[in-house]
A = this chain, B = another copy of it.
Amino acid sequence: MKLSEGVEWGLHCALLLAEAGRPLPRRVLAEHYGLPEAYLAKHLQALTRAGLLHATSGPSGGFRLARPASEITVLDVLDAIEGPASPFVCQEIRQQGSGAARPEECTRPCAIASVMVRAHQAWRESLRAVTLDQLVNQVPPALRRRNRVKFGTDDSP
């Protein structure tokens, strides 16, 4: 079980977009984090398709958050990039082979699958509890200031 590295990229980029408050092109995002631009594009596409980012073409275009950072959870980003499919898929092998359970013995879901589903839900709940703005607030102040100078909207007097 390995999680795509694009998850880390997507989360960091989403955080930076939350800090910036204005569209940033993928070229800027890639250079900022030292990532391959072409491959990062793939993950940003996924985030856009999921409705988390909004993409605008042309000069001064780029990606921006489609919703306020307080309304985007870490789980949203993960589902967008990894897909919402459960990592464990019960293949009902209890109903196969010479020791197959009979249909009337399978009225209840497989206990093993239930355990896996509960664990997966615990994982998802833990991720759903954290929003992007909570993460932004944990960025070191000095770094946040630098990012603001570099990208921030200069609407502050």
A residues with CB within 8 A of B = 1-5, 7-9, 11-12, 15-16, 30-35, 74, 82, 87-91, 93-94, 96-102, 105-106, 108, 111-112, 115-116, 118-120, 122-127, 130, 135, 138-140, 142-143, 146-147, 150
Contacts and interface: CB of A to CB of B under 8 A. Distances in A.
Contacts of A93: 8-9, 12, 33-35
Contact of A105 (B118, B143, B150): B143
Chain A interface secondary structure, helix, strand, loop or mixed?
helix
A101 B135 contact: no
A112 B12 contact: yes
Contacts of A32: 97-99
Contacts of A7: 88, 116
7 contacts: A3-B89, A34-B93, A102-B143, A105-B142, A105-B143, A111-B139, A115-B135
A132 to B, nearest CB: 10
Contacts of A130: 115
Given A34-B93, A93-B35, A147-B99, A4 B1 contact: yes
Contacts of A94: 12, 33
Given A8-B90, A87-B2, A97-B32, A135 B147 contact: no
A126 B135 contact: no
Nearest to A94: B12
A119 B127 contact: yes
A56 to B, nearest CB: 22
